[in-house]
A and B are shown apart, each in its own frame.
Chain A
Amino acid sequence: GAGVSQSPRYKVAKRGQDVALRCDPISGHVSLFWYQQALGQGPEFLTYFQNEAQLDKSGLPSDRFFAERPEGSVSTLKIQRTQQEDSAVYLCASSLRTGTYNEQFFGPGTRLTVL
């Protein structure tokens, strides 16, 4: 594809519901990152994949957050039992490779609103 795509673009959930957010990275990109951007704030790191391996999940705020990338391409961020503080824009980014700096290309984000 031309860039990183994310779906859905907008999600409204009732408190306690589970949600799944999808990220389609640029084809061939090895690295994939998830960030959380609260209103009026900069993005904050959640987790990082190299191919299918989740190498860093230190930014996940609780065990209700889970991410996977089973085939090293598409990734899903799942939030269980959503709470109001989970309301944010969730950004996905991919880069060609790791080891040396490579530009991260960002998707448009999924805006999650928990009522």
Chain B
Amino acid sequence: AQSVTQLGSHVSVSEGALVLLRCNYSSSVPPYLFWYVQYPNQGLQLLLKYTSAATLVKGINGFEAEFKKSETSFHLTKPSAHMSDAAEYFCAVSLAARQLTFGSGTQLTVLP
């Protein structure tokens, strides 16, 4: 079985500051890992994915994440926050390319 833990249900950063959203996973086999973003009243949009290639994964909108097997982590970062980054972010894990198991989400607020 697999699971995902997102530390911090709410994160606030100032515009231009570093964004760091934390995700730890539990999986009995090497997983596929994902970050999704959800804007109000919209579906989930894929930001980036790790599928056992490079451990540093670059995604859309300037986001990136690093897979660290020793720490079972897949934290999401962005060097400089923009107001448009305010949304809810979900980390997810998948085995055998089937259904996704999501964390409980982190609401990102960007302060002017």
- A-side residues, CB < 8 A to B, are 4, 33, 35, 40-45, 48, 56, 59, 91, 93, 98-104, 106-109
Determine chain B's interface SS by DSSP, over half rule: strand
> Which of B14-22, B72-80, B102-110 lines the interface with chain A?
B102-110
Taking a contact as CB atoms under 8 Å apart, the answer to whether B90 and A42 are in contact is yes
Among B44, B90, B100, B101, max chain A CB count under 10 A is at B44
- B-side residues, CB < 8 A to A, are 4, 32, 36, 41-46, 49, 51, 90, 92, 94, 97-105
Known: A101-B49, A108-B42. A45 touches B100 (CB 8 A): yes
Task: Give 13 A-B contacts (CB < 8 Å), ordered by A residue.
Answer: A33-B99, A42-B90, A43-B90, A43-B102, A48-B99, A93-B44, A98-B98, A100-B97, A101-B51, A102-B97, A103-B46, A103-B49, A108-B43
Among A42, A45, A106, max chain B CB count under 10 A is at A42
Query: How distant is the Cα of A108 from the Cα of B42 in the complex, in angstroms?
Result: 5
Known: A41-B105, A42-B105. A104 touches B43 (CB 8 A): no
Taking a contact as CB atoms under 8 Å apart, the answer to whether A45 and B90 are in contact is no
